[in-house]
Amino acid sequence: MAMKDPVSTTQPQSGPILKPLGAKPAVTLSDKPAKDAAKDREKEKDKASPKPPAAAKDVKVGTRLTSVDAYRGLVMLLMASAGFGFRAVAKSLPDSWWPTIAQQFTHVEWQGCAVWDLIQPSFMFLVGVAVPFSYAARRAQGRSYLAILGHAAVRCAILVLLAILLSSQLPHTQTEFVFTNVLAQIGLGYLFVFLLVNRGPILQTLALVAVLGGYGYLFYQHPLPGPDFDYAAVGAQAEDVLPGKQGHWSKNTNFAADVDRKFLNLFPRKEPFQFNPAGYCTLNFVPSIATMLLGLMAGELLRGAQTQRRKLLWLVLGGAVCLAVGLGLGLTIVPIVKKIWTPSWALVSGAAALWLLAAMYWVIDVRGFRRLAYPLVVVGANSILMYLMSSLMAGWIFTNLKITFGAAPFEGTYGPVVHSVAVLAVLWTICFWLYRQRVFIKI
């Protein structure tokens, strides 16, 4: 990992040539004054110097849109908040309005969608949005396509390894080879997305349709369990078993779950892998490629030469198309299930991500309310670091907060909310300090 400024430096401009101290002015045969002759010589040298690569017409090479960093910061704050403790408060006050709020800060059991379910697809969507900006910046630095491709491959490997390390924390006593972590999912699909940079929206759309259509077919052709199958033996409750042809996407009896029972047992394990209790599968990375592709197309749109009005129109229209197709599939053949990233889920969550990006782009970059976005940008500029800190340091931070302030503030009905907000404040402060120091952790 390297520390980089998220805003690339501007392209070098040719400047005046400094003369050695004590040098005598050159004698010219021209009847121009000496100063004019010197300016002429400098202009000739400027013309002879190599010109920097041309930038996009409306977004300079290497720049970052404030709205993208703000959206990423919002996602990371929600991810690090652990649901703000709302679920614990809801358990203490079951007859209040807290359970209704808490429902939006926890994952649905199987079919459907809550606000909390949109965090991971938003994160992966924004990875796609950043690809064209990153690619353009590296090309502007003079790097070849193969060098950038090699860097992308290394980034994929690092993300997968980080995911395995995070899954292997205590109390585990050996390496846990699990690939459902969001970092692993990005690492497994990122290279495919990179290969479609600058390939045009038609080819990118065809690739998206092929990924979702092919993946859906693999589920559809997978045989259904027999009538006497014991679903409880694979961790499935009654609400996790879908009727009719949608049964191909039931919990832990689907194509991806069957692949995991073969693939994950190739790695050393204490006990043979049978099923993921929540139903997550390694192959989720395949349809999530479509989520990142939607982000890639949105990023290339935002870097393009169209007017801001047309960019907003395309983002909103693209979201509407994704939502219509996703809901249509969800109501007929392919259920909307986040935990196995069904094609309908990829489209519905992609629609939400497109519309959220459009809203933030309009408010922040078009209307110019950048100061309001600052608290989010501070986190969005260091998103990977925020993810790692929330995964590795949250418990340690809370322990030290209790030592410093005592246990009383974190007890009682609303103690879990104070706990979550306090830890989040410490994490934000670290990101704020690093932002002020211009220190940014990148892979």
What does the pLDDT read at residue 63?
64
Helices (H) and strands (E) in the chain, counts: 16, 2
DSSP 338: G
Name 140's Cβ contacts closer than 8 Å, sequence gap at least 6: 8, 11, 52, 53, 55, 61, 62
- φ/ψ of 441, rounded to 5, equals -95, 120
Tens digits of per-residue pLDDT, 146-178?
A: 999 999 999 999 999 999 999 998 788 889 999
Q: Distance between terminal CA atoms of the chain?
A: 5
Cα separation of 248 and 325, whole Å? 19
If you average pLDDT over every residue of the chain, what do you get? 88
Tell me the two tokens of residue 385. Answer: 């670091």
Between 39 and 438, whose confidence is greater? 438
Residue 207 clears pLDDT 60, i.e. is over it: yes
Contacts of residue 173, Cβ cutoff 8 Å, sequence gap at least 6: none
Q: Cα separation of 200 and 7, whole Å? A: 26
Helix (H, G, I), strand (E, B) or coil at 111: strand
Rg (CA), the chain: 26
3-state SS class at 214:
helix
* 3-state secondary structure string across 403-426: HHHCCHHHCCCCHHHHHHHHHHHH
Tens digits of per-residue pLDDT, 276-303? 999 999 999 999 999 999 999 999 999 9
| Residue extents of the structural domains in the chain | 66-442
pLDDT band at 442 (very low <50, low <70, confident <90, very high): confident
